[in-house]
């Protein structure tokens, strides 16, 4: 047993974590759980192989390389002067690319993946591959495309092979949502795993010039690479249900490597953009700014792993009351580490404890450890 929670790579869009804390929910939840387990710190994972990134950087007129732009954009997401204790890993860094090529080559040798001439549609203006069905180009908006047969990395799924099963989720007594399993059953029999992108894991070493590995596969490999760096054989990737529905099929062959196996932990949305009522409530009940911050940056992310369908704004007042009660019930003697029972439950993927006042009260830290939060880093209170 060697569990490490790692966030599902967050799209490196134009925002800061302070502006959009919801984007860091998976990072914060992972950090809180690793701290309670006494493992980590895990790196923060970012997804840079995006079409949006291609478009944002395509017309850049300075000569700064794309990877450097991505790195700068990630650094700007954090409170100035802070960096994550476990570092940062993107889905296009050399260590991830090396693992991706190693895994892909092995899967090609095994015959699970093939490089197969496939008819796809290419945008007739910019050459972007729009897929097996003709539709408007997502890269440039051009409507016309032309069919062309080119060699691509494909996975022809043997009939009856599931792309997602119950044991792909790290969840104790919580069934994965049925519709997620249904979506996973209804994917095409052939999945194309190579894409036309400006940036990503180049498949040129496999003879596929101008193509990169589909980022939906790459996200899983980034988590495996992060786990390997930390000697963790059971990485648990925090991810929302929507994101899982989008990427899980592409990760089917990329969730296991050399005894390391990735599982998902689903988390719901946190209504950070709707906390006006919460602020009023904090004022009424004299909740200190530090306690409010701990509620937002530590408790709610953990809560979102239990309330996987999402936390509604209407739930915030009662959650805050519950939080205050748990905080008041903290033991007099601070514990240096979480009780064994709590670690046992986290290891088993059982998140019901966040709704148990006694257990929660023993788990509350003095301050959130997250460098991705809006608070000051460790040491401040
Ligand atoms: Zn186009």
Tens digits of per-residue pLDDT, 132-142? 888 899 999 99
Has residue 214 been placed in a domain?
Answer: no
Residue, of 63 and 326, whose pLDDT is higher: 326
Range of the domain at 321: 273-363
In a domain, 321, yes or no: yes
14 φψ region: left (φ > 0), alpha (ψ -120 to 50), beta (else)? beta
Mean pLDDT of the chain: 90
Question: Does position 89 have pLDDT exceeding 70, yes or no?
Answer: yes
Q: Say if 56 falls within a structural domain.
A: no
In a domain, 343, yes or no: yes
- Rounded CA separation 277/264 (Å): 32
CA 55 / ligand 1 centre spacing (Å):
11
Q: Which SS3 state, helix, strand or coil, does residue 125 take?
A: coil
Distance (Å) from CA 115 to ligand 1 centroid: 24
Q: In the 3-class helix/strand/coil scheme, how is 55-92 assigned residue by residue?
A: HHHHCCCCCCCHHHHHHHHHHCCCCCCCCCCCCEEECC
Residue 319 lies in a domain: yes
Residue 338 has pLDDT above 70, yes or no: no
Whole-angstrom distance, CA of residue 71 vs CA of residue 195: 22
Residue 127 CA to ligand 1 center (angstroms) comes to: 6
Please determine, for residue 113, whether its predicted confidence score (pLDDT) is greater than 60: yes
pLDDT band with cut points at 50, 70 and 90 for residue 116? very high
State residue 375's pLDDT score.
41
- Ligand 1 midpoint to CA 137 (Å): 5
- Helix then strand then coil, in percent of the chain rounded to 5, is 40, 15, 40
**Domain assignment of residue 85, yes or no:** no
Is 183 a residue whose pLDDT tops 70? yes
Mean pLDDT of 258-273: 95
Tell me, yes or no, whether 292 lies in a domain. yes
Cβ atoms within 10 Å, residue 10: 22
- Please count the structural domains in the chain: 1
The pairing of beta strand 190-192 with beta strand 114-123? unpaired
Query: What separation in Å is there between the alpha carbon of 147 and the centre of ligand 1?
Result: 13
Gap from CA of 197 to ligand 1 centroid (Å):
11
58-80 pLDDT tens trace: 877 777 899 999 999 999 999 99
Does residue 303 sit within a domain? Answer: yes
Kindly report the pTM of this predicted structure: 0.93
């Amino acid at each position: 047993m060697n569990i490490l929670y790692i966030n599902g790579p967050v799209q490196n869009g134009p925002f800061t974590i302070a502006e959009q804390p919801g984007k860091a929910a998976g990072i914060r939840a992972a950090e809180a759980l690793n701290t309670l387990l006494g493992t980590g710190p895990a790196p923060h994972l970012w997804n840079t192989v995006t079409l949006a990134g291609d478009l944002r950087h395509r017309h850049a007129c300075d000569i700064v390389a794309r990877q450097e732009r991505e790195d700068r954009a990630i650094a700007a997401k954090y409170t100035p002067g802070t960096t994550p204790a476990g570092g940062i890993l993107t889905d296009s860094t050399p260590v991830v690319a090396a693992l991706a090529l190693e895994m892909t080559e092995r899967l090609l040798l095994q015959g699970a993946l093939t490089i197969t001439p496939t008819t796809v549609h290419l945008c007739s203006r910019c050459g972007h591959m729009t897929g097996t069905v003709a539709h408007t180009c997502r890269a440039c908006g051009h409507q016309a495309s032309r069919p062309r047969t080119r060699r691509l990395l494909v996975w022809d799924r043997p009939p009856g092979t599931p792309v997602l099963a119950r044991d792909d989720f790290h969840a104790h007594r919580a069934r994965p949502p049925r519709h997620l399993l249904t979506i996973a059953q209804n994917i095409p029999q052939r999945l194309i795993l190579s894409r036309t992108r400006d940036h990503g894991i180049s498949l040129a070493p496999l003879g596929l010039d101008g193509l990169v590995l589909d980022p939906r596969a790459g996200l899983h490999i980034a988590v495996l690479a992060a786990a390997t760096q930390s000697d963790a054989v059971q990485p648990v990737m925090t991810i929302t249900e929507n994101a899982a529905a989008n990427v899980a099929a592409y990760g089917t062959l990329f969730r296991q490597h050399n005894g390391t196996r990735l599982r998902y932990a689903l988390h719901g949305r946190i209504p950070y953009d709707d906390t006006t009522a919460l602020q009023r409530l904090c004022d009424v009940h004299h909740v200190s700014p530090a306690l409010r911050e701990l509620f937002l940056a530590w408790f709610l992310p953990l809560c979102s792993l239990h309330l996987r369908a999402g936390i509604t704004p209407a739930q915030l007042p009662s959650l805050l009351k519950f939080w205050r009660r748990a905080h008041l019930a903290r033991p007099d003697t601070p514990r240096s580490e979480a009780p064994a029972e709590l670690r046992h439950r986290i290891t088993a993927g059982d998140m019901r404890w966040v709704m148990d006042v006694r257990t929660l009260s023993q788990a509350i830290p003095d301050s959130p450890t997250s460098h991705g939060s809006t608070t000051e880093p460790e040491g401040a209170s």
